[in-house]
Amino acid sequence: MALAKDKKKFFGDNIFDLLSIIPVSPAFNIFRLGRLARFFQIFRLLRLIGLTGKLNRLLHTNGLIYIIYTSIAILVIAASMYSISEHVSYGRSLWWAIATATTIGYGDISPHTFIGKLAAIFLMIVGIGIVGMLTSSLTNLFIHDHADDRMQRILDKLDRLEKTNQQLAAEIRELKTDPKKMK
C-alpha cells in the first residue's frame, strides 16, 4: 500500500488481502461476543419447546401441537428440496408438497430430477403418516370435547337416579315402620 500511487484504488481492489493481514490482538476480542449471541439463540429454541408443552397441557391434546409443528417442518423441507432441485418457485413447490402429502396428487406438478424424486419419496412416506396422525389427533380433540359433555350428562342422570333411589328407600322404610300410611 505504501508503494501504490492511487491508494484508494489499491485499497478497493485489495480489501480482502488487507483485512487478512490485520493482526489479531486482544483489541479484536470484542468480535467474539458475536459467538456468545449465537449461543443464546439456543434458548429461543428451548423456549419454543416449553411453549409447545404448555399449549399441549392447555388444549389437553395428545401431542397435537408437536404433530402440527412436525407437519409444517416436513412440508417446508420437502418444498425446499423440490424448489431447489426442480428450479421452480417456492410457492409452486409448496403447492406440490401439500398436494402430495395429503394424497390428492393432482399431477399438475411432478418431480423430474433425482433430488426432486427423493423429496417426493420422503414426503410420501413420512408426510402421509404425519397428515394421518394430524387428522386423527384433530378428530380425537373434537370427539374428546363431545365425549366429555356426554359423560357429564350421564353422570348427572346417575346422580339424579341415586337421589331418587335414596328417597324411595326412605319411603319404603317409613311404610314398613308405620303400616297406617299405606292406605
Please check whether residue 23 lies inside any domain of the structure: no
Mean pLDDT to the nearest integer, 2-31? 71
As given in the structure block, the three cell numbers for residue 144 are 374428546
Mark which of 41, 59, 77 sits at the end of a domain.
59
Residue 54 phi/psi, 5-degree rounding, is -65, -40
Please check whether residue 75 lies inside any domain of the structure: yes
Number of domains in the chain: 2
pTM above 0.75, yes or no: no
Please check whether residue 19 lies inside any domain of the structure: no
Residue 142 phi/psi, 5-degree rounding, is -70, -40
Contact between residue 63 and residue 138 where contact means Cβ atoms under 8 Å apart: no
Encode pLDDT of 109-152 as tens digits. Answer: 888 999 888 888 888 888 778 778 878 877 777 776 666 677 78
Encode pLDDT of 74-92 as tens digits. Answer: 888 889 989 999 999 999 9
Question: DSSP H helical segments within the chain, as ranges?
Answer: 7-13, 15-20, 33-59, 64-86, 90-101, 114-122, 128-177
Please check whether residue 15 lies inside any domain of the structure: no
